[in-house]
Amino acid sequence: MQRKFIGLGALLAMLAVAIGAFGAHILKSSLGESAMAVYETGVHYHMMHALGLLIVGIAAGQWGDSSRLRWSGWLLLAGIVLFSGSLYALSISGIKVLGAITPLGGVCFIAGWLLLALEAFARRHA
């Protein structure tokens, strides 16, 4: 589990940089100011939660495997796909209904961080 989440976190962080650069250098001239702000929000949350996956992997290495850590990692990953992915699609396509998916990703983020916190508080040592 440790290697899986560290590897996914690193790949998703790299992808956040690439997607951010794509937006800054390719899309900026074709997207309006509002759409670009939505896109940048997606990139910001993408990177922050990729780093969260790294934290989950490091915690798994420190504390060992647990269902809370596994769920935390998978929920952070799902949040990136749903939250950031829907913001990328919304900003590029302009299809407003895609914004209805974004809160589902936000709930995944909240649940993922909560599970990581619960795992930390449940530990007596380390």
Q: What is the pLDDT of residues 37-78, one digit of tens each?
A: 999 999 999 999 999 999 999 999 999 999 999 999 999 999
Q: Give backbone dihedrals phi and psi of 31, rounded to 5 degrees, phi first.
A: -95, 145
> 54 and 112 in contact (C-beta within 8 Å)?
no
CA–CA gap between residue 41 and residue 25 (Å, rounded): 16
Q: Domains of the chain: which residue ranges?
A: 2-122
Percent of the chain, pLDDT > 70? Answer: 98
Model confidence pLDDT, tens digit, residues 64-122: 999 999 999 999 999 999 999 999 999 999 999 999 999 999 999 999 999 999 999 99
Return the structure tokens found at 10: 């690193």
Distances (CA, A) of 62 to 25, 42, 48, 58: 40, 30, 21, 6
Give the predicted TM-score (pTM) of the model. 0.94
